[in-house]
């Protein structure tokens, strides 16, 4: 049994009884990385010297103080688009392959305040653009359940590292499903918080109106601990919301009796695998048995979400990625004859195909003559999608459906068909467009590959999501399964 099979609360109990040291936890993490990461490929950079030194410092504090951080001594992996001072941050792109930040992201500072130990940086799709972690500029991460399959993306390294037992939990980022989809594919728990719940300061921007940092863990309780630690208003982020942070951990004690669940017919329709559909219906029966009720509802504008998302996110990406020009930091092309040539060569050599594709789409959508037809129209449809959710939430407490339409696909299966790859996020994208929170929890298997149940809540009502997710987890065994690496 791995130490990471214990929950945070259980590990804290062992630490305070002096039956375990923080150094043991950190060594467990690096030992496991040494055993399996050559197969999985989750980590890009390790923080070994500083992590071990900090673990020793925390062990020394165990008998000398009365209060401890919420994540005291817990090893954590951080997605490589979250900046970490003096620890290389590349966004899995060659254009940033030598970038060592001079400051920490707000969430990294909050992890330090909570006394967590940063183990290293995790692989991802380049600049968070992708659904499979095949778009990394450095290596392909593999699904611990079956190494021939993708772990999902863009937070594939974050989900795979937790599923493989390399760290007990990790941070990812979610722009159109990039936490929930890999969590589903890897059989772990992943939450995208309400937009504005967690500071984006220090998250390298892909699409600023959609990006949100969130936790990936092995169980719902740990997820609540991690969100509690990283949430809150941040003066460094103008989109950070001044909304009180609820006590997410205490929500886990509440049952779901009388809870009303809406199940969108659009989420169980065409394109959704029969086994995926059945796993959701089985999950609803479990929740019914716990006292909740459910009815079919409609989110009619969901069918436009995919097109809306790729127009808006690509438009924002084209603006955000203009800063990577070879002038101030990062990769710079050699032998350019003038400034314009240096820009062209740097961006041509530094960015991968998927990033270039989205920059071109976004620049086109924002260009003179096309702005009203594409970008403005997409913003109007986004408002309709948001209104769909508001209408359903007037009558229902949560919305439930599958996280992804299929289980994890094979590596290389969709790389030459970007439109099919994009469609993989069709069930997660509306949540980002509306800015509401959503969580994926394990709910079954198909041919040995995990399936995820998506639970969506009202703005800033992560408490209710955790309440439902925890009740379902406690009534089932799916989360106890582990890949046989």
Count of other CB atoms within 10 angstroms of residue 277: 16
The single residue of 29, 79, 93, 279 carrying the catalytic annotation is: 79
CA distance 339 to 19: 61
How far apart, in Å, are the Cα atoms of 440 and each of 248, 374, 419, 461?
16, 31, 23, 15
C-alpha 117/C-alpha 385 separation (Å) is 39
Contact indicator for 262, 399 with CB cutoff of 8 Å: yes
Q: Which of 157, 180, 153 is nearest to 469 (CA)?
A: 180
The torsion angles phi and psi of 169, rounded to 5 degrees, stand at -160, 170
Residue of 88, 174, 120, 181 lying closest to 402 (CA atoms): 181
Of 168, 172, 175, the C-alpha closest to 156 is 172
Which stretch of DSSP H or E encloses residue 15?
helix 8-16
CB 437 within 8 A of CB 261: no
Residue 93: active-site member: no
DSSP for residue 41: -
Q: Which of 178, 184, 315, 318 is catalytic?
A: 178
Catalytic pick among 29, 131, 132, 154: 154
Q: What is residue 11's three-state secondary structure?
A: helix
Cα 296 from chain centre: 28
88: CB partners within 8 A, 6+ apart: 44, 45, 98, 99, 100, 121
Nearest to 96 by CA among 20, 45, 29, 148: 45
Rounded Cα gap, residues 6 and 362, in angstroms: 45
Query: Contact at 8 Å (CB) between 407 and 185?
Result: yes
Q: 410, 411, 472, 414: which is closest to 440 by C-alpha?
A: 472
Active site residue 154: yes
N- to C-terminal Cα separation, the chain: 14
The verdict on whether 178 is a catalytic residue reads: yes
Q: What is the 3-state secondary structure (H, E, C) of 117-159?
A: EEEEEECCCHHHCCCCCCCCCCCCCCECCECCECCCCCCHHHH
Strand partners, 261: 294, 398
The percent of the chain in helix, strand and coil, each rounded to the nearest 5, is 45, 15, 40
Active-site residue set: 79, 154, 178
């Amino acid at each position: 049994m791995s130490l990471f099979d214990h929950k945070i609360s259980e590990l804290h109990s062992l630490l305070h009884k002096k039956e375990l040291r923080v150094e043991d936890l950190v060594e467990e993490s690096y030992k496991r990385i040494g055993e399996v990461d050559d197969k999985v490929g989750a980590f890009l950079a390790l923080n070994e010297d500083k992590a071990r030194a900090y673990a020793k410092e925390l062990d020394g504090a165990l008998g000398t103080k009365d209060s401890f951080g919420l994540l005291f001594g817990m090893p954590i992996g951080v997605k490589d688009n979250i900046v970490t001072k003096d620890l290389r941050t590349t966004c899995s792109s060659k254009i940033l392959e030598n970038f060592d930040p001079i400051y920490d992201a707000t969430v990294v500072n909050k992890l330090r305040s909570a006394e967590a130990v940063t183990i290293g940086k995790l692989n991802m799709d380049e600049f968070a653009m992708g659904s499979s972690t095949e778009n990394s500029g450095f290596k392909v991460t593999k699904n611990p359940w079956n190494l021939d399959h993708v772990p999902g993306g863009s937070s594939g390294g974050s989900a795979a590292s937790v599923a493989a037992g390399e760290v007990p939990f990790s941070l990812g980022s979610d722009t159109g499903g990039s936490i929930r989809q890999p969590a589903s594919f890897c059989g772990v728990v992943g939450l995208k918080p309400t937009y504005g719940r967690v500071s984006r300061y220090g998250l390298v921007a892909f699409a600023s109106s959609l990006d949100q940092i969130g936790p990936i863990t092995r169980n719902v309780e740990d997820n609540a601990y991690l969100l509690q630690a990283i949430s809150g208003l941040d003066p460094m982020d103008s989109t950070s919301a001044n909304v009180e942070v609820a006590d997410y951990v205490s929500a886990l004690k509440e049952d779901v009796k009388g809870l009303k669940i809406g199940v969108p017919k659009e989420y169980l329709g065409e394109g959704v695998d029969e086994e995926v559909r059945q796993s959701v219906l089985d999950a609803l029966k479990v929740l019914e048995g716990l006292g909740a009720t459910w009815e079919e509802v409609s989110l009619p504008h969901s069918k436009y979400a995919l097109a809306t998302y790729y127009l808006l996110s690509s438009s924002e990406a084209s603006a955000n990625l203009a800063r990577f020009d070879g002038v101030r930091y990062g990769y710079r092309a050699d032998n350019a004859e003038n400034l314009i040539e240096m820009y062209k060569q740097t961006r041509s050599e530094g960015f991968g195909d998927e990033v270039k594709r989205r920059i071109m789409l976004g620049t086109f959508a924002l260009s003179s003559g096309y702005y009203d037809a594409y970008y403005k129209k997409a913003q109007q449809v986004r408002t309709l999608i948001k209104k769909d959710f508001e209408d359903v939430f007037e009558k229902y407490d949560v919305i439930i459906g599958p996280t992804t339409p299929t289980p994890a696909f094979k590596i290389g299966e969709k790389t030459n068909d970007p439109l099919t790859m994009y469609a993989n996020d069709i069930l997660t994208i509306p949540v980002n467009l509306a800015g509401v929170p959503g969580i994926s929890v394990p709910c079954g298997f198909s041919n040995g590959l995990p399936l995820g149940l998506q639970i969506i809540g009202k703005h800033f009502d992560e408490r209710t999501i955790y309440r439902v997710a925890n009740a379902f987890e406690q009534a089932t065994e799916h989360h106890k399964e582990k890949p046989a690496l």
